[in-house]
Amino acid sequence: MANEILVVGDIAPETQAAVTGVVKALEKAFNAKDPVALSEQFAHETSWTNAMGVRLDGREVIAESSAPAMKGFLRDSYARYDVVKLLELAPGVVAVNVAQAPTDSAGGPVEGVRGAALYVIAEREDGWKIVAGQNTMVQTPAA
């Protein structure tokens, strides 16, 4: 995680830790190519738009669509997810801006497409989960 996170609203330290923990677990699952662990960071009823612009509704759909991608075109892709901003939307609901940077399998930086994600993470019966989100590819403009 980045050292400096902009926190907007009165977000308790334990809530900040729980929300950033969801992001770190998502990163770990992506880098391990584990679609089930990745999907477990989402609420059962969720709406997610991936970096290709495809909307996925529900935890099971996310797991099902992630598996072939992780075995296919994403098999050699790794990333670091840095929380850059937390915005309290309501008690128990936090918007999280995440900067994604490509890495090698050991976590070292590499050239490549970056990402910017917005997660809405809410407290649910089974813990803090992503209830909605959008992942956007960010390409560095040519010099």
Domain boundaries, the chain: 6-138
* Closest-CA residue to 71 (of 110, 25, 35): 35
Contact in structure between 142 and 132 (CB atoms under 8 Å): no
Query: How would residue 121 be classed by pLDDT, with cut points 50, 70 and 90?
Result: very high
> Beta 6-8 vs 114-124: how paired, if at all?
unpaired
6-138: CATH, from 1.10.3720.10, 3.10.450.50, 3.40.50.2300, 3.40.50.300: 3.10.450.50
Q: How does DSSP assign 13-28, residue by residue?
A: HHHHHHHHHHHHHHHH
Per-residue pLDDT, 2: 45
Per-residue pLDDT, 1: 43
- Give the Cα separation of 136 and 100 in Å (integer): 10
Per-residue pLDDT, 76: 96
Place of tokens 């915005």: 87
The predicted-structure confidence for 43-95, as pLDDT tens digits, reads as follows 999 999 999 999 999 999 999 999 999 999 999 999 999 999 999 999 999 99
User: Distances from the Cα of 39 to the Cαs of 68, 89, 113, 141, in angstroms?
Assistant: 14, 23, 23, 32
Place of tokens 């990163």: 27
